[in-house]
Amino acid sequence: MKSVIAEIITIGDEILYGQIVDTNSAWMGTELTKIGIKVKQITSISDSAAHIIEALDNAKTRADIILMTGGLGPTKDDLTKVVLTSYFNTTLELHEPSLADVEEIFKKRGREITELNRQQAFLPAACTPVRNVLGTAPGMWFEKEGKVYISMPGVPFEMKRMMTDTILPKLKAFFKTPEIIHKVVQTVGIPESILADKLEKWELNLPEHIKLAYLPHLGGVRLRLTGVGIDAKQLEQEIQAEVDKLQQIIPNYIFAFGELSLEAAIGQLLKERGLTIATAESCTGGYLAHKLTSISGSSAYYHGSVIAYHNDVKIRELGVKPETLQQHGAVSEATVKEMAANVRQKFNTDIGVATSGIAGPDGGTPEKPVGTIWIAYADKYKTEAKLLQFNKDRLLNIEYTAMAVLNLVRQSLTATVEE
Amino acid sequence: MKSVIAEIITIGDEILYGQIVDTNSAWMGTELTKIGIKVKQITSISDSAAHIIEALDNAKTRADIILMTGGLGPTKDDLTKVVLTSYFNTTLELHEPSLADVEEIFKKRGREITELNRQQAFLPAACTPVRNVLGTAPGMWFEKEGKVYISMPGVPFEMKRMMTDTILPKLKAFFKTPEIIHKVVQTVGIPESILADKLEKWELNLPEHIKLAYLPHLGGVRLRLTGVGIDAKQLEQEIQAEVDKLQQIIPNYIFAFGELSLEAAIGQLLKERGLTIATAESCTGGYLAHKLTSISGSSAYYHGSVIAYHNDVKIRELGVKPETLQQHGAVSEATVKEMAANVRQKFNTDIGVATSGIAGPDGGTPEKPVGTIWIAYADKYKTEAKLLQFNKDRLLNIEYTAMAVLNLVRQSLTATVEE
């Protein structure tokens, strides 16, 4: 099967001067890859007609699809639109449905439509307009000599909505791309290299048309299985069979199938079981609570937290015994266990978790270097603690610790043991 | 003065397939802009010799400097190095100092050096090697027909260190770029459009060689003044004079000169004045505490927080009166004021702040729609509250609210009033 090749051209000085990071291209790269279209080059160019034309001329020698973002909108003088109108030797015409969309947007905002915005509804006659329900600049789809040229605004949420609603389905149909099915299996608590060891034999035995990708990120590794075929239903079954095998090999490290964060997965588990949770944080300083409360609906299971940065707060608000702090210090198994057990009592929840450690970059000692962190979990059956050892980066230490606590909660909820 | 033009080429399928976001280019764009070098194009290409050569051939028709990242390192078969060796018609030779660096890195890691890593010290004879103190792949600097070609590893911290230590100073010297001085003035609590109105007259009167850039980001607008000239000392004085004028025009919105986050600026103010702070959070769910504790050394002024997601916690742990909750609801001026005043008492701090609102996307009512948020500030002189109204995005609402509270603290500490 010959690959369909795409190139992305982003237009705008703000990317070249580093004022914004180009996250659009990575998103497009991911989505195009998912439907079997291969991105060959991404080119970021300046707001200049000559540069746009040069980039188009170059890209069409290599690609079947050219996706452009940016250079649309009244403050940019709709440069891309003007260039494309001339590039495809056509003229601008009023596109009534686009005008209606622009008028609707201004009506919603309660503002008068300006002449500049009205002009955004004038589009090259040779293009198929792509509806933009979230902004005033419509997209444009051109076809010439079997190649497709697409122009979209650079505003990420407008571009993403257009791609998802219109452009990706249309590209799939136009190029008759094969069926491609992805399944994501999310793991936590196991480093990529150890995971790769455990999965080596299984991966070697995968059918030719199913591929595995390791996508590590902060605190976990996403495994993505991608199958290519003709019959969607059969492909679906084949991939599911591999996912089932995977679950046999690493049952204790999988926390979700599909795109779901660890905090969302835990939220679902807590909701299903009607359990509640409270947190007591020292070194994570609120970040653990933030992760849990970033999930909409978390108030159903999350009661609250005491952030005890000062030792007095640990004693007064969390009931940690002064003797414990004196004998073992704030960063100790004994302290963190008292914090978890007491916050659970105090907030009247089923589960209590706690963190105490040296986030750094300063504050370490030879016995307890920076990155020494204790975490604890308490429920009505048990109170257990775990020692973590990270490095010197304060924010990373905070983030890794929060992930480790969430994983401790997950392990208890799913009643698995670490291998 | 003719501009010196640079292009960036990033090499690696992982960018094209969207597996990583190219943050390197934005960083390089910012740094090159700062020394007066203009980035004309950024090109991301695949791990392929033919594609690298094509990109180089194209770039050299437009640019004086071509910066490449990626395609180095043993797992990539050092593709870029092999291609450049042939492109510049030279041969690979052992570079002893680079070998010593690689050996040193392996010694530190306590591991045996492999043959593959030893080969990384073989470099094209025609290049000036660029030292990499953080990794095993040295950089390469080529000069040909007045143009400079630079190859660096794609690992962000290695690339940044090489650029800062060696490449940026060397480019400045090679192209004799003019003196360029930047000063950043950071504002908060004023939207970009209103700021632009207030600054219009001043901006119009800026000297020809001093330019202003608006760099808006979450919760604030950074103003960057860039001056170009021959005499660094004179230029410094001229820009400072403009910064002084700026401070006269918008004294109440400036929180820092230079690169400093709002939470770091507040930390400095609190430390200077020997003041302490505690937080009581409902809708921000720990994010406000996280911002404050993300600053190293924050334990000197930050005592802790009660996160009161559940109303019982507001009553029991924060002493909010049940009548207040009943009469006014959790999202109200009365509740948030009690939270701020009581957390201050409870944690024995100089300042208490509080948040309570509907972060969304669900949970709104006609009287209190999603995005309705009350914040409060309390010290020994006063307790004051402020109503915020945002939209439906939960995470943005949380982030904007935290910024608004930090700004409330800043305003009280600097004893300014809102215009």
* Chain A residues 164-193 within an 8 A CB cutoff of chain B: none
Contact between chains at B22 and A17 (C-beta distance less than 8 A)? no
Structural element, H or E, at residue B14: helix B13-16
Contact between chains at B304 and A307 (C-beta distance less than 8 A)? yes
Residue finishing a domain among B257, B276, B297: B257
pLDDT in tens, B281-304: 999 999 999 999 999 999 999 999
* Chain B residues 198-217 within an 8 A CB cutoff of chain A: 213, 215
Sole residue written with tokens 């679906």: A236
Name residues whose C-beta falls within 8 Å of residue A116's C-beta, 6 or more positions apart in sequence: A74
Please tell me the distance from the alpha carbon of residue A118 to that of residue A96, in angstroms, as a whole number: 10
The C-alpha R_g of chain B, in whole angstroms, comes to 27
pLDDT in tens, A44-87: 999 899 999 999 999 999 999 999 999 887 666 679 999 999 99
Tokens of A390: 């990270």
Please tell me the distance from the alpha carbon of residue A33 to that of residue A211, in angstroms, as a whole number: 13
Q: Is A81 exposed, middle or buried (0-12, 13-18, 19+ CB in 10 A)?
A: buried
Tokens of B14: 């992982």
**One domain, residues A30 and A147:** yes
Tokens of B140: 């390469």
Does A296 reside within a domain?
A: yes
The SS3 of residue A102 is helix
Task: Provide the shortest C-alpha distance from residue B21 to chain A (in Å).
Answer: 6
Q: What integer is the mean pLDDT of A388-396?
A: 89
**One domain, residues B145 and B236:** no
Please tell me the predicted confidence (pLDDT) of residue B102: 86
Whether B365 and chain A come into contact, CB under 8 Å, resolves to no
Mean pLDDT of chain A: 92
Q: What is the CATH number of the domain that holds B386?
A: 3.90.950.20
The SS3 of residue A385 is strand
pLDDT band at A295 (very low <50, low <70, confident <90, very high): very high
Residue in chain A nearest B17 by alpha carbon:
A29
Does B60 reside within a domain?
A: yes
Please tell me the predicted confidence (pLDDT) of residue B34: 87
Please tell me the distance from the alpha carbon of residue B227 to that of residue B236, in angstroms, as a whole number: 8
Please tell me the predicted confidence (pLDDT) of residue B104: 86
Whether B387 and chain A come into contact, CB under 8 Å, resolves to no
Chain A residues close to B289, C-beta within 8 Å: 281, 285-286, 289, 307
**One domain, residues A206 and A273:** no
Please tell me the distance from the alpha carbon of residue B155 to that of residue B150, in angstroms, as a whole number: 15
**One domain, residues A362 and A404:** yes
**Cis-peptide into B251, omega within 30 deg:** no
Q: What are phi and psi of B34, to 5 degrees?
A: -60, -30
Does A102 reside within a domain?
A: yes
Instruction: Yes or no: say if B12 and B71 are a contact pair by the CB < 8 Å rule.
Output: yes
Does A332 reside within a domain?
A: yes
**One domain, residues B82 and B225:** no
Name residues whose C-beta falls within 8 Å of residue A258's C-beta, 6 or more positions apart in sequence: A183, A184, A186
Please tell me the predicted confidence (pLDDT) of residue B70: 92
**One domain, residues B298 and B246:** no
Task: Provide the shortest C-alpha distance from residue A95 to chain B (in Å).
Answer: 31
**One domain, residues A120 and A90:** yes
Task: Provide the shortest C-alpha distance from residue A191 to chain B (in Å).
Answer: 18
Please tell me the predicted confidence (pLDDT) of residue B75: 64
The DSSP line for A242-306 is HHHHHHHHSTTTEEEESS--HHHHHHHHHHHHT--EEEEESTTTTHHHHHHHTSTTGGGTEEEEE
Chains A and B: how many Cβ contacts under 8 Å? 229
Residue finishing a domain among B174, B196, B231: B174
Chain A residues close to B288, C-beta within 8 Å: 286
Instruction: Yes or no: say if B299 and B310 are a contact pair by the CB < 8 Å rule.
Output: no
First to last CA, chain B: 42
Please tell me the predicted confidence (pLDDT) of residue A319: 95
**One domain, residues B186 and B313:** no
Q: Is the pLDDT of residue A150 over 90?
A: yes
Q: What integer is the mean pLDDT of A305-319?
A: 93
Does B93 reside within a domain?
A: yes
Whether A310 and chain B come into contact, CB under 8 Å, resolves to yes
Reported for B30-35, long-range contacts at CB under 8 A and 24+ positions apart, including other chains, are B30/A17, B30/A18, B30/A19, B31/A18, B31/B163, B31/B164, B31/B168, B32/A18, B32/B6, B32/B168, B32/B171, B33/A17, B33/A18, B34/B180, B34/B182, B34/B226, B35/B168, B35/B171, B35/B172, B35/B177, B35/B180
Please tell me the distance from the alpha carbon of residue A38 to that of residue A42, in angstroms, as a whole number: 11
pLDDT in tens, A162-184: 999 999 999 999 999 888 888 99
Given a cut of 50, the residues of chain B with pLDDT beneath it are 416-419
- Nearest-10 crossing angle of helices A232-249, A192-204: 130
Give the nearest partner residue to B309 out of A15, A293, A362, using CB atoms: A293
**One domain, residues B216 and B306:** no
C-alpha distance from residue B321 to each of A45, B2, B311 (Å): 60, 70, 11
pLDDT band at A219 (very low <50, low <70, confident <90, very high): confident
**One domain, residues A204 and A234:** yes
How many H helices and E strands in chain B? Answer: 16, 17
Whether B287 and chain A come into contact, CB under 8 Å, resolves to yes
Please tell me the distance from the alpha carbon of residue A93 to that of residue A119, in angstroms, as a whole number: 10
Residue finishing a domain among B239, B257, B275: B257
Task: Provide the shortest C-alpha distance from residue B46 to chain A (in Å).
Answer: 6
Q: What is the CATH number of the domain that holds A45?
A: 3.40.980.10
Does A418 reside within a domain?
A: no
Contact between chains at B346 and A317 (C-beta distance less than 8 A)? yes
Contact between chains at A18 and B29 (C-beta distance less than 8 A)? yes
The percentage of chain A sitting over the pLDDT mark of 70, rounded to a whole number, equals: 98
Sole residue written with tokens 């200049």: A48
Task: Provide the shortest C-alpha distance from residue A297 to chain B (in Å).
Answer: 8
Query: Strands of A210-217's sheet, edge to edge?
Result: A210-217, A220-229, A179-188, A254-257
* Chain A residues 96-135 within an 8 A CB cutoff of chain B: none
Q: What are phi and psi of A239, to 5 degrees?
A: -70, -40
> Domain tally for chain A?
3
Please tell me the distance from the alpha carbon of residue A354 to that of residue A377, in angstroms, as a whole number: 7
Please tell me the predicted confidence (pLDDT) of residue B1: 56
Whether A219 and chain B come into contact, CB under 8 Å, resolves to no
Contact between chains at B215 and A16 (C-beta distance less than 8 A)? no
Q: Is A177 exposed, middle or buried (0-12, 13-18, 19+ CB in 10 A)?
A: middle
Whether B323 and chain A come into contact, CB under 8 Å, resolves to no
User: Which ipTM value was assigned to this complex?
Assistant: 0.81
Question: Domain range for residue A147?
Answer: 4-174
**One domain, residues B149 and B183:** no
Whether B157 and chain A come into contact, CB under 8 Å, resolves to no
Contact between chains at B19 and A310 (C-beta distance less than 8 A)? no
Does A419 reside within a domain?
A: no
* Chain B residues 52-91 within an 8 A CB cutoff of chain A: 58
The SS3 of residue A133 is coil
Instruction: Yes or no: say if B1 and B178 are a contact pair by the CB < 8 Å rule.
Output: yes
Please tell me the predicted confidence (pLDDT) of residue A1: 56
Q: What is the CATH number of the domain that holds B232?
A: 3.30.70.2860
**One domain, residues A113 and A248:** no
Does B418 reside within a domain?
A: no
